[in-house]
Structure 1
Amino acid sequence: MVMAMLSMAACAIPAGAATALKSAASCQASQASGTDADPAPLLYAARPEALQWADDLAARRDLERQWLRQIIGQARFLPSVQRLMQPPPAADRASKNWHLYRSRFITPARIRAGLRFWQAQRSALARAEREYGVPAEIIVGIIGVETLYGQQQGRWRVLDALATLAFDFPAAHPRAQERTEFFRRELEQFLSLAQRSGMAPTEPCGSYAGAMGLGQFMPSSWVRYAVDFDGNGRIDLFNDPADAIGSVAHYLRGHGWTPGMATHFGVHFDTARLQLAPLLAPDILPTFSAAEMQAQGAMPDAAGAQHAGPLALVELQNGGAAPSYIAGTENFYAITRYNRSSYYALAVIELGRAVAMARAAQATR
């Protein structure tokens, strides 16, 4: 995903759907002209611990040892990936700005691209909505934010990105050990998937975190949630929009999406009795009933006041201006399972809504 850090348990590829991974373009060329170009790149063939990891994986997964050692040996250390994974400076973290973030994604060009995508894929979007209960506009919003409808799927070779983060995750990161373990699991999933499907693991391009395809799935999410939605006998999230559409819907439904539920409601404050700190303490996790929020001075709008499920008071900073607030439902939270960011989730929702409005306006002409 733009960076969807999704740590899912492995499971079998869906029955009858042989996986096909194919890069939309060669990573080799883009990396050769980028910041990682090096006449003598560091290959993990020179790293005994990486080769030992390959041996352990071969034994654990009953994979061919020499094949794994050869593939890991071809993986390259990417300094730019290591840099990009560093935590942002404190000043950047303190200057979050929802309006600025929104302006990057809710643009006329992206809305037009979304409209073209919806028109071309209207049958697959309608079927995904019927089968999984996820509105077409949410799926359109996710794919638009993630990759601009497939135009920006990432320039890093997935093998290199995952190996770099599995064996050279920045030690200064506050969650370095946890993230190292996460990326080793993702590298394991990627290589296991490649071996089972016959895909050449040196080919796919993706994000600097190893996410792939139109919907930017991490390898474990590909294994668990990718579907052959058009029934052609293979799963291709790089080049097959129908498969990407069905897989995004399957992912959201698997993470608690409830058909028919709103994603969020407006909210205003009764300042005389507002208890902001306890309301914000659970962050984006829906915790409070509408009545409990009202008792602490956060008043959902009329529809929100009637909502039967839990809500979260979601704060979005606006730089030096006053923050924005919404009351997020469990469906809002489900979108943050794709990318743990309230800014991301609201951008997805608003882009999808903007494309839907453009589609409705076009239909009336």
Structure 2
Amino acid sequence: MNPFASFFATFLIASCATSTWATAQKHPKKHRAPPLVAITGPLYATRPEVMQLADTIAERRLLDPDWVRHALAHARYMPAIARAITPPPVGTVKNWAVYRSRFIDQVRIKAGVKFWLANQETLARAERETGVPAAIIVGIVGVETIYGQQTGGYRVIDALCTLAFDFPKEHPRAKDRSAFFRAELESYLSLTQRTGTDPLALRGSYAGAMGLPQFMPSSWDKYAVDFDGDGRIDLFHSPADVIGSVANYFRAFRWQPGMPTHYPVGFDAAKLDKAALLAPDILPTFTTATFAAKGAVLQGAALNHTGPLALVELQNGEAEPLYIAGTENFYAITRYNWSSYYALAVIELGEAVAAAIAATERGGTNLPPGRPKGS
């Protein structure tokens, strides 16, 4: 997961009435589980408030209270997770060039080419049915897990309990974040009970995100779909379910088919009111007319854009920031992870993979690096 996440807005199976991993055992697929992060922290079994919450969850979700207590009692506090979730010190300057270099590289591009070519019919179907471009779906899975190579080695139960009960108090939104993870813990227990899965067995990120697309438990509940039609939803092993679920996620967040994600933008120094343009952050707010009135200069196709726009600033350390005009589709990507850096990395990785495929189809031998627009 990337360091500039403010936390992916709430995530993901209302459609998951059928068993996921329980059914998967009938049709096993080859899958190498990630190395398990060493479990060294104290058990939550000794915490009265944890056992009290277990009973509350069991009652609210109609679960066996002994089963819930057993699961939470065997969860452990993980200091490494608490450290990982702590934001950088106030005043830390972000750097888009450095951030981009972590995700737009030959490893991800080559893996993305392989993923796209192996699943091109499914990607085309997802794009046809939802309007979400294949490049965006490919970009998401690549940024999140390098197409399944890095799905996380923490036990999900440990991650969710650590962040639900011991979220770092120095975080400016500690109370809200703790409540968020308690809700995710509840969704996780409900999901694993419903699918007949051992809640102590699943592994994911330090934030409790799971599978190739790194869905949080609630996102799995709301947006994951059985896209391969085998009667189960499997985001760990089924590329089709991963592709369909990512597309369905963006459709739920009002992806606009055919709309660009962003446009280049310049400034008219005589009119520029950058503070006003940046005030709404990444939320599209301005019409093209109000954008221009405040000194933002658009050209070409951007002049005919009919929806709202946002001025998006991506800091570059001590160098000049990069500015783009973000559309409603750019904002939709930030609903997956609340970060403009993340969104642009997803977009550019998808573009780089598409360019690499086009190059190989033309007989090229070198995969293009996929430089950012304006660089």
Smaller-chain TM-score bracket: over 0.9
Q: Residue by residue, what CA displacement relative to the aligned partner does 1:237-294 show, whole Å, maximum 9, x if unpaired?
A: 0111111110000001101111111000011111111110000000000000011111
Matched letter for residue 116 of structure 2:
W
Aligned position for 2:7: 5
Matched letter for residue 19 of structure 1:
T
Q: How many residues align?
A: 355
In the TM superposition, 1:1-365 aligns within 5 A as: 2=2, 5-8=7-10, 12-14=14-16, 17-20=18-21, 30-32=36-38, 37-38=39-40, 41-92=41-92, 95-365=93-363
Alpha-carbon offset, residue 4 of structure 1:
7.7
Query: Contact 2:126 / 2:244 at 8 angstroms: preserved in 1?
Result: yes
Alpha-carbon offset, residue 363 of structure 1:
1.6
* Alpha-carbon distance in structure 1 between the residues aligned to 2:155 and 2:6: 17
* Alpha-carbon distance in structure 2 between the residues aligned to 1:51 and 1:7: 28
Matched letter for residue 53 of structure 1:
L
SS in 1 for 2:36: helix
* Alpha-carbon distance in structure 2 between the residues aligned to 1:7 and 1:144: 19
Matched letter for residue 19 of structure 2:
A
TM-score by length of 1: 0.93
* Alpha-carbon distance in structure 1 between the residues aligned to 2:112 and 2:9: 28
Query: Contact 1:75 / 1:163 at 8 angstroms: preserved in 2?
Result: yes
Query: Contact 2:13 / 2:219 at 8 angstroms: preserved in 1?
Result: no
Matched letter for residue 167 of structure 1:
F
* Alpha-carbon distance in structure 1 between the residues aligned to 2:281 and 2:12: 28
* Alpha-carbon distance in structure 2 between the residues aligned to 1:47 and 1:127: 49
Task: Select between 83-92 and 120-129 the one with higher mean Cα deviation.
Answer: 83-92
Q: Residue by residue, what CA displacement relative to the aligned partner does 1:206-246 show, whole Å, maximum 9, x if unpaired?
A: 11000001000000000101111101111110111111110
Query: Contact 1:134 / 1:252 at 8 angstroms: preserved in 2?
Result: yes
RMSD: 1.8
Alpha-carbon offset, residue 13 of structure 1:
3.3
Alpha-carbon offset, residue 20 of structure 1:
2.4
Q: Residue by residue, what CA displacement relative to the aligned partner does 1:87-136 show, whole Å, maximum 9, x if unpaired?
A: 211243xx211111111111122111100110111111111101111000
* Alpha-carbon distance in structure 2 between the residues aligned to 1:117 and 1:66: 42
SS in 1 for 2:37: helix
When residues 311 and 10 of structure 1 are mapped into structure 2, their CA distance, relative to the original with a 3 A threshold, is closer
Alpha-carbon offset, residue 66 of structure 1:
0.5
* Alpha-carbon distance in structure 1 between the residues aligned to 2:65 and 2:107: 48
When residues 47 and 333 of structure 1 are mapped into structure 2, their CA distance, relative to the original with a 3 A threshold, is same
- Runs of 5+ unmatched residues, structure 2: 25-29, 364-375
* Alpha-carbon distance in structure 1 between the residues aligned to 2:233 and 2:278: 41
Aligned position for 2:366: none
Report sequence identity in percent.
59
SS in 2 for 1:317: strand
* Alpha-carbon distance in structure 1 between the residues aligned to 2:33 and 2:274: 50
Matched letter for residue 363 of structure 1:
E
Alpha-carbon offset, residue 12 of structure 1:
3.0
Query: Contact 1:157 / 1:202 at 8 angstroms: preserved in 2?
Result: yes
* Alpha-carbon distance in structure 2 between the residues aligned to 1:101 and 1:8: 24
Query: Contact 1:6 / 1:220 at 8 angstroms: preserved in 2?
Result: no
Query: Contact 2:43 / 2:73 at 8 angstroms: preserved in 1?
Result: yes
- Runs of 5+ unmatched residues, structure 1: none
* Alpha-carbon distance in structure 2 between the residues aligned to 1:362 and 1:211: 34
Alpha-carbon offset, residue 147 of structure 1:
0.4
Matched letter for residue 326 of structure 1:
I
SS in 2 for 1:150: coil
Matched letter for residue 134 of structure 1:
V
Alpha-carbon offset, residue 301 of structure 1:
2.1
Query: Contact 2:20 / 2:195 at 8 angstroms: preserved in 1?
Result: yes
* Alpha-carbon distance in structure 1 between the residues aligned to 2:332 and 2:268: 28
Query: Contact 1:13 / 1:19 at 8 angstroms: preserved in 2?
Result: no
* Alpha-carbon distance in structure 2 between the residues aligned to 1:201 and 1:25: 19
Query: Contact 1:26 / 1:204 at 8 angstroms: preserved in 2?
Result: no
TM-score by length of 2: 0.91
Matched letter for residue 183 of structure 2:
R
Alpha-carbon offset, residue 348 of structure 1:
0.5
When residues 212 and 221 of structure 1 are mapped into structure 2, their CA distance, relative to the original with a 3 A threshold, is same
* Alpha-carbon distance in structure 1 between the residues aligned to 2:297 and 2:335: 26
Query: Contact 2:9 / 2:335 at 8 angstroms: preserved in 1?
Result: no
Query: Contact 1:75 / 1:160 at 8 angstroms: preserved in 2?
Result: yes
